[in-house]
Amino acid sequence: MLRWAAIFLVVGLVLAVLGFSGIGGAFVEIAKILFFIAIAIFVILLVLGLIAGKKVKDAID
């Protein structure tokens, strides 16, 4: 998902430089949304991994 965010950001910046600021701004906004979704998914999976790791450690001990 971060790859898509980077692609949208680069395309948006190129479009803005070429004078298509309206659609370039839309691409940058999409990139921001994708970035924050990716960060949220990362945090959720990190918390779930830590919880599962503690359960496995308790089961082994």
Classify the phi-psi angles of 32: left when phi > 0, otherwise alpha if psi is within -120 to 50, otherwise beta.
alpha
Listed in sequence order, the residues at least 6 apart from 26 whose beta carbon sits closer than 8 Å to its beta carbon are 12
Q: Provide the number of structural domains found in the chain.
A: 1
What's the token pair of residue 30? 């999409």
State the CB neighbour count (10 A cutoff) for residue 31: 21
Give me the pLDDT at residue 61, please: 66
- Tens digit of each residue's pLDDT (9 = 90 or more) over 23-51: 999 999 999 999 999 999 999 999 999 99
Residues in the chain: 61
pTM, rounded to two decimals: 0.79
Is the pLDDT confidence value at 58 over 80?
no
For tokens 């990139």, name the residue: 31
What domain range includes position 37?
2-60
- Tens digit of each residue's pLDDT (9 = 90 or more) over 2-12: 999 999 999 99
Give me the pLDDT at residue 54, please: 82
